Each structure stands twice: as structure tokens, then as C-alpha cells.
Amino acid sequence: MAVLVMILIRPQVLKFLTKDLLLRGLAAGFLLGGGYIFQTVGLANTGAAITGFVTGLYVVLTPLFAGLIFKERVSKNTWLYVFMATVGLALLSLKGWSIGFGELMVFFSAIAFAAHITALSKWSAGRDVYAMTITQLTMCAAMTGVASAFEGYSAPPDSGVWAVVVFTAVFATAIAFIVQTWSQAHMSATKVAVILTMEVVFAAFFAIIFAGERLTLQAALGGILVVTAMYLIVLKES
């Protein structure tokens, strides 16, 4: 749905789908789709809190991949900020721990997301952001469509669920990935990974505001560490 909406809004984008862009966009989409599939399988076999933490390990894997694959130099201070964000993530997410099939699948998703962030930071520059986003989401839709085909098709049951689907497709998918693809052409992969850990902070914030959850000392400390790490790494590279 996100892909169709984007093409309807800007049909001339199709002329930007060159062979070079398609290769890189589809490869990035393959990593993104793999991350979502592994994460979904993992969520079905473990708890949401542990899934949040293990998925968030892309914050550690991203600078590792950037250094090993693209030979980016990662400073000691950057590793410190990555460590701070990881500890904060653990405090926000973990309420117990177990190792099993679900956790392993989620760890594979973290590897895929880290590879996606790293690749996108290298491949976005100099290419049409809108076309790159459409290409990624097309591959992601194809992969997840095949993966879920075995369960059969079930339409949203009412207008309320359809509204959620449309909102997710347009705002949380199309617009979000346009912004991310554009942003990653202008900053390092490590910086992106640390900033994205704010997702967990926002999740905790909305859970407190809308779901009536209590703000614990552990969650507060975790949020402070993540926000501090994000601020320091943005300040360092600004």
C-alpha cells in the first residue's frame, strides 16, 4: 500500500529507477525485509521486552559492520556512546532473560537491521531518495508477502483496522522511510543507529502517557542514558 500511494503521488519517479539504483535499493530492501521477518518470527517465540533489547543490538553491530565492511574509523568516544545507548536500552527493555529460538531469530533481525543501516548510509548519497524508498519497500513487500502466504489472506475486519493499516502505510512506512533514506545520505551509520534507539524511549513514554504504565527508576535511568548518548554523538558529528 505504501508503494502504491507513493507512485500515485509522484508517478514520474519511475524514470529514476535506473539499474544502479534498482540493484542497491533492492539489496537494501532485502536486508530490511529479512530484519522484519526474523523479528516477527522471534516475537512469536519470545517476549516483547526481550525482543526490544535484542533488536536494539543493531546499535552495537552497526559500527562494527561499518568498520569491517566499509573501513570506517570508529573512535573510542563513539564506542563509549554506543555502550551507553546499549546499557540504556537494556534498562528500558529487560525484565528477565532467557535464551532460546525466539531470541536467536531476533538477534538475526538485529544483524539484518544493522546491515541495512550501514548499506543505506553508503548507497543513499547521490541517488533519488523517493525512488530508493519505493525500491526498498517493494522488495520488503514481496519478501514479507511470500513469508506470510502460507497463513492465507485475511482482510481487515472493519473500518477502524483499515484506518490503522492506511495510517501505518502512509505515515509510519512511506514518509518514515523517505526521511530515513534522505537522512542517511547525510550522516554516518553509527550516528543513525544511536539515534534510532530513541524508538524505545518513545515507546516507554507513550506507554506511560496512554497505557497507564508506571515510570520506574530503571526505565528513567535507561531513558536518560539513551538520550544522553544520542545527544553526545549528534554533538560530536555536528
pTM, rounded to two decimals: 0.81
Which range marks the domain in which residue 9 is found? 2-237
The average pLDDT across 133-147 equals 94
Residue among 30, 9, 26, 8 at smallest CA distance from 17: 26
Of residues 124 and 237, the one with the higher pLDDT is: 124
Residue 134 confidence (pLDDT): 95
Question: Quick one: pLDDT band at residue 230, thresholds 50, 70, 90?
Answer: confident
The residues, any chain, with a CB within 8 Å of residue 185's CB and separated by 6 or more, are 121, 124, 125, 126, 127, 129
DSSP 8-state assignment for residue 126? T
- What helix, strand, coil percent values describe the chain, rounded to 5? 80, 0, 20
Q: Using one digit for the tens of pLDDT, what is the confidence trace for 60-73?
A: 888 888 887 777 77
Give the count of domains, the chain: 1
Residue 47 confidence (pLDDT): 67
Q: Using one digit for the tens of pLDDT, what is the confidence trace for 81-139?
A: 888 888 888 887 666 655 678 888 988 999 999 999 999 888 988 899 999 999 999 99
The average pLDDT across 183-210 equals 83
Interatomic CA distance for residues 219 and 119, integer angstroms:
32
